Amino acid sequence: MERIKSAVNKIFSYDAQNYIFIYTPPKVGSTTLVTSLRVSLGKSYNVIHIHDDIMLSVVTGFNDVTVNDIISFLANIGKNVFVIDVYRTNIERKMSEFIEKISPYHFNNTENNISHYSIKRITDRFNKLFPYLAQGEHYFDKYNIDEPTPFDFNKKYTIQEINKIKYVKLRLCDSQVWGELLSNLLSADIVLINDYQTETKQIGELYQRFKNEYRLPSNYFNLIKECKYLNFYYSEEERNNYLNEWQNKLSENASPYTESEYDFYVVLYLENQYINDIQTEHYIDNGCYCNLCKSKRREIYFKAKRGERITEKITHIELVNENVQQKNTKLLELIKKKISEKVSNKKFKPKKFGIKINHK
């Protein structure tokens, strides 16, 4: 229990009554959720973004405390806890995950150099890795829920309360209405702010070409067709539309790596890796609640409400430096003004301050 308390203190900078865990796999739109909720809710909710227990252990230093331990602990001491997961269709999630790590893992080269690779070269590597990318689904695999509630296709979300914990399932295909859905769920005005999209990164142009030109190997089509998550989160009509779209974009069969070959591949790219894949300043809003950051958060919130595209970040150190610079500028202008006034009134004695004035 004490280690769980210590872990809670390490990952949350302040105590709150309300907590939201964006506990999802990577590349499902979760960063947009985090930023939107932090900007919209401010300090009324503690919002954390986590992918797995390994990520948690890196943050806390504890290997024996899980994400579910912390969620249960907070719910049991009377906190209001939401856990949000997002479903993204299989092929698109695999593509995004692959491109995200294409530089540090898959080609061990700079994004600038990789952006000049042929789509055939990118496709060949992707197809070899296809069965091993973006596996699993948190709502089924991580939350310890015996019977997940069937997805509500009318509401476009599912909420299931177990042991005082509210589990919410969203779909990336509904992201345009996330603001409305979350506003109803949280009884707050949530504005959606798109954040950390692969298309806007340096590799974005290659990613767009890859998505446009990729053809799914025929032997992978059945893997997608039989995917239990697709069948759970998409209605029959949605599934048919999705599968028909890909059926029109099929290619010849591909030969993926065997399991042993893939294991060797992972060991090799980790040994050879020289490009840092740690993401700094990952979010538009990193969750600082000093007065400067709160003011910037409010500014961004109203910009988003007006439909303006958000390009700036809430970065504490930059805001502090900017504030110091503004204060110094104002102070300098004030000094110049005072000097000017005293000189004009002939009350200012420059020699006293070691200042020479050339009167012409």
Q: Give residue-wise pLDDT tens across range 302-326.
A: 788 888 887 777 777 777 777 777 7
* Under 8 Å between Cβ of 68 and 144: yes
- Do 183 and 71 sit in the same domain of this protein? yes
Give the SS3 label for residue 297.
helix
Q: Flag whether 8 is in a domain.
A: yes
- Per cent of the chain over pLDDT 70 is 91
Q: Flag whether 310 is in a domain.
A: no
User: What pLDDT was estimated at residue 338?
Assistant: 73
Tokens of 44: 């009324």
pLDDT at 119 over 90: yes
Mean pLDDT of the chain: 88
- Do 148 and 175 sit in the same domain of this protein? yes
CA 247 to chain centre: 31
- Do 300 and 320 sit in the same domain of this protein? no
pLDDT at 360 over 50: no
- Do 74 and 116 sit in the same domain of this protein? yes
Residue 314 main-chain phi, psi, to 5 deg:
-95, 90
User: What pLDDT was estimated at residue 318?
Assistant: 76
User: What pLDDT was estimated at residue 112?
Assistant: 92
Q: Give residue-wise pLDDT tens across range 232-248.
A: 999 999 999 999 999 99
Q: Flag whether 311 is in a domain.
A: no
- Do 203 and 329 sit in the same domain of this protein? no
- Do 331 and 291 sit in the same domain of this protein? no
Q: Which of 1-5, 38-42, 308-312 has the lowest mean pLDDT?
A: 308-312
Q: At what angle do helices 291-305 and 30-41 cross, to 10 degrees?
A: 110
Q: Flag whether 68 is in a domain.
A: yes
- Do 212 and 345 sit in the same domain of this protein? no
pLDDT at 344 over 90: no
**For 248-276, what is the mean pLDDT?**
93
pTM: 0.82
User: What pLDDT was estimated at residue 163?
Assistant: 94
**For 276-299, what is the mean pLDDT?**
74
Q: Flag whether 154 is in a domain.
A: yes
Domain coverage including residue 332? 316-353
Q: Give residue-wise pLDDT tens across range 64-91.
A: 999 999 999 999 999 999 999 999 999 9
**For 4-33, what is the mean pLDDT?**
93
Which comes out higher in pLDDT, residue 195 or 358? 195
- Do 288 and 218 sit in the same domain of this protein? yes
**For 107-133, what is the mean pLDDT?**
95
**For 267-279, what is the mean pLDDT?**
80
Q: Flag whether 360 is in a domain.
A: no
- Do 188 and 322 sit in the same domain of this protein? no
User: What pLDDT was estimated at residue 277?
Assistant: 64
| Burial (0-12, 13-18, 19+ Cβ within 10 Å), 316 | middle
- Do 289 and 333 sit in the same domain of this protein? no
pLDDT at 280 over 80: no
Q: Flag whether 359 is in a domain.
A: no
- Do 331 and 273 sit in the same domain of this protein? no
Q: Give residue-wise pLDDT tens across range 148-173.
A: 999 999 999 999 999 999 999 999 99
Q: Flag whether 12 is in a domain.
A: yes
Q: What is the tally of structural domains in the chain? A: 2
User: What pLDDT was estimated at residue 343?
Assistant: 62
CB atoms within 10 A of CB 36: 25
* Under 8 Å between Cβ of 47 and 287: yes
* Under 8 Å between Cβ of 54 and 72: no
* Under 8 Å between Cβ of 31 and 195: yes
- Do 211 and 344 sit in the same domain of this protein? no
